[in-house]
Amino acid sequence: MALLLVACGAALFASAFRVGVEAVFERVFHAPNVLAAFERLPLWARVAIPAVGGLLAGLASERARRLQGGQGVGDVMEAVALGGREVSLPATAWKAAGSFGAIVSGGSIGREGPIILFGGALGSRLGAALRISAIRTRALIAAGTAAGFAAAYNTPFAAVLFVVEVVTGVVALGIVLPTLIAAAIATAITRFVVGPGPIYGQHAFAMRSDGELLIHLLLGVAAGLVGVAFVRMLGAGERAFARLPVARPLRPAIGGAIVGVIACALPTVTGNGYEAIALILAGKVGVALLAILVIAKAIATTSSVGSGSPGGVFTPSLFLGAALGAMVASALARFWPALPVGPAGGYALVGMAAVVAATTHAPLMSAVLVFELSGDYAIVLPLLVATSAATAVARELMPSSIYMQELERKGVRWKVTLDGRVVERNEE
């Protein structure tokens, strides 16, 4: 019963969050999405609205910080790995409210962060309320996390692998079974509410020759470098905003204003990037603009997240990968037409998986995620090649993933070996 409540709760929250965001754009901005809204806004409003949204997000985030226990995926990882650690539902609710405010005002963040965190927090709260054992509560938290992920992306298998590769670091039947059930239930509810099929639409993939795998390998290497640079940029941005001589809640307002300034020329950087990714997959963005967007989106996301606006970087990472992959394919097709290069949209899909693999150090989850998003079996081999290469490069340059770094900042060291998972906590 508790598992069913967690799965249903996570799915309904995700659906309500999505519908709420869409309702704001339709009723307030009279536009179907953030990109269409910002393309219609005057320049002053493109700067002012993200700044105001950032301020509201900063106030909500400050409230969540005081409550503690609901700051990010690191809290979920810690609760599942160590046990006895509550993922605060009230703190998560405040974070979600802040994220909502930032997203509807054009902040460059993903909505998956609060959705995933809410699922874990709901599992934690139900475990305590029903006086479930610590081990079963940890399983509920993991299951809620998977349900949130599945509801956010409509990808049940990737949701389970997110828990296995990122949250737990080990394959344990007591964790995997609840996550499978929760992911399936959450996906069914989500598809009933928002419709079936991949969230970015159906996209066919084809390779012109087996030699094209070498290009995908090189794309994976490039994605590894981009992923590492992005994570380091996020860290540098967080440190830079922390040094500003202003109150903590005001920093997201500054970050939002920076996003707005970029949006004056490139409204595509606003929001989590869903609309821009759809355009890239359809091959509607030129190679020069793609190169600019890789840099501009990274800066915009750093400004939003680094300044303190609560939200995820998972979908922005997908954006960077899509732009990188399409840019590589378009550039090769233009300057080396003799090479066996397929459509840019296919390379965009592979790039999405590769950059996410680089930031999360989870190649299998990333490959399965994009496979579920594309719905085409032909893409599997390029996905495995690119995500493996991206992860290898990223781990060489950056031993800790973006989520492990979050744990390390809290004094928790996380290591997975052939002998199992080792977690150490600095209590000082």
Cα atoms in the 13 Å half-sphere on the side-chain side of 336? 9
* Contact status, residue 158 vs residue 145, Cβ threshold 8 Å: no
Mean pLDDT for the stretch of residues 235-241: 94
CA distance 158 to 149: 8
pLDDT, tens only, 357-390: 999 999 999 999 998 887 777 788 999 999 999 9
pLDDT, tens only, 184-213: 999 898 888 777 666 665 566 666 667 788
If you ran DSSP here, which 8-state letter would residue 165 be given? I
**3-state helix, strand and coil shares in percent for the chain, rounded to the nearest 5:** 75, 5, 20
Name all domains of the chain by residue range, CATH numbers in brackets: 2-194 (1.10.3080.10), 212-408 (1.10.3080.10)
Sequence-separated (6 or more) residues with CB below 8 Å from residue 306: 234, 236, 237, 238, 240, 241, 255
Band (171; pLDDT cuts 50, 70, 90): low
CA distance 114 to 379: 30
If you ran DSSP here, which 8-state letter would residue 261 be given? H
CA distance 128 to 110: 29
3-class SS of residue 326: helix
> 73-87, 123-137, 203-217: which has the minimum mean pLDDT?
73-87
Strand runs labelled E in 279-387:
none
pLDDT greater than 80 at residue 67: no
Closest among 218, 214, 152 to 183, alpha carbons compared: 152
pLDDT, tens only, 319-348: 999 999 999 999 988 888 877 777 888 899
CA of residue 28 relative to chain centroid, distance: 26
Q: Which residue has the tokens 């609760």?
A: 79
Closest among 18, 17, 45, 16 to 29, alpha carbons compared: 45
* DSSP conformation letters of 106-162: T-S-BSHHHHHHHHHHHHHHHHHHTT--HHHHHHHHHHHHHHHHHHHHS-HHHHHHI
Q: Alpha-carbon Rg of the chain, whole angstroms?
A: 20
